[in-house]
Amino acid sequence: MHRACVLDADAHRAMARAGNPYRDGRVATRAVAGITELVGAGSRLPDFVGGSSLAPAS
């Protein structure tokens, strides 16, 4: 697939517009906040509730 993105402009555009499989990009921040809550040194962040183009349809 990566080679196709380099050689085929349509494939490149499709890949460039694809959804983010890592949701909102804040998982590391949420993990650290959750760990600090577990050890009594902070509080966790709200869970991510948004969607992703890769999420299964409900």
Instruction: Residue count of the chain, please give it.
Output: 58
Burial of 23 (0-12, 13-18, 19+ CB in 10 A): middle
Number of independent structural domains in the chain: 1
Q: Which two tokens stand for residue 2?
A: 């990566």
- Within a domain: residue 58? no
The model's pLDDT over 3-27, given as tens digits with 9 standing for 90+, comes to 766 788 888 888 778 776 666 778 8
Q: What is the pTM of this model?
A: 0.44
Instruction: Average the pLDDT over 48-56 and give the result.
Output: 55
**Full residue range of the structural domain in which residue 7 is found:** 2-38
- Within a domain: residue 26? yes
- Within a domain: residue 16? yes
What's the half-sphere exposure (Cβ side, CA atoms, 13 Å) at 14? 10
- The answer to whether 44 and 30 have CB atoms below 8 angstroms apart is yes
Give the list of residues 6+ apart from residue 53 with CB closer than 8 angstroms, or none.
18, 19
- Within a domain: residue 10? yes
The model's pLDDT over 25-47, given as tens digits with 9 standing for 90+, comes to 788 888 899 899 999 998 888 87
- Within a domain: residue 50? no
